[in-house]
Structure 1
């Protein structure tokens, strides 16, 4: 006969304990050993607890990011509404800056990333490899 399943409340408590262990930096094998000993569950169930703990971290992080994005967008919209001098050059520049910032928060602009490597003399490395290949040298 199988063991009784944990209640939802007990499961939440266990996941919080596992999250605490993860945040304290314990290694996965140590956490698995603690789970199986403390709650008398299988190793497979212990790994499921760890997986669920990570999923909860991710969900909490995503909810926080959504909140922060909404908060910052709202504050910028208020700044835009309250901007008194929209008809002056300085006011128009400030208004445009606020609107661009809102667009960035909404993901409408893609950040440019430079992929140039200038510190490494890579041409010499390639020449050596090609010369080795021409001479029939392998590896």
Structure 2
């Protein structure tokens, strides 16, 4: 194999010997190469501890830098998944737009059928785009004839729900306290 040929590196590859490794800074291309290498090691099933040990050995890094490379690799996975989701959403919306056009142009269907089907497609597109709120309302009576009502909004993104998850625990604690006070 020629010296310039690329090969797939694994965690077991030998360290790269460099002069003044402690003072060496890497350019953007080298950083991206390293992040992709760490991501590849993660996909191969290597433990984070093994990966960080290999980072320290191969690149002469100490302290927080190996953690940073692992985090950058995780961010790379996240960005890739988000892009895939956006592409899939675009595909589904474009497909439904073609269906919508086809329905409106289909002269074999009665006008009422065309509009009903077209409206269904438009509602589906709006749902994919998150324009409709999808909620579940739960209502229950307790032994003490109190009514507890909870509404879950399924149309929110995970970022929006993340901030609201903290509400559930205090609410439950509050309800438990009220119920225990009623027993007294």
TM-score by length of 1: 0.73
Cα-to-partner distance string for 1:27-59 (whole Å, 9 max, x where unaligned): 322221111112211131101101111111111
From 85, 90, 100, give the equivalent of 1:70. 90
5+ residue gaps, structure 2, are: 1-19, 144-175
Verify: 1:95 aligned to 2:118, yes or no.
yes
Cα distance in 2, alignment partners of residues 106 and 7 from structure 1:
39
Match of 1:44 among 49, 64, 69: 64
Unpaired runs of at least 5, structure 1? 135-139
Q: TM-score, normalised by structure 2?
A: 0.57
In the other structure, the counterpart of 2:133 is 110
Is residue 2:31 matched to residue 1:8? no
Q: How many residues are treated as equivalent by the alignment?
A: 129
Structure ranking higher on relative contact order (CA contacts 8 Å, 6+ apart): 1
Report the Cα offset of residue 7 of structure 1. 2.3
Alpha-carbon separation, structure 1, partners of 2:137 and 2:47 = 36
Write the distance in 2 (CA, Å) between the matches of 1:55 and 1:102. Answer: 29
CA distance in 2, matches of 1:43, 1:24: 24
1:24 partnered with 2:74: no
Partner of 1:43, secondary structure, is coil
Distance 2:137 2:74 in 1: 33
Root mean square deviation, CA, Å: 2.9
Task: Return structure 1 stretches of 4+ with deviation > 6 angstroms.
Answer: none
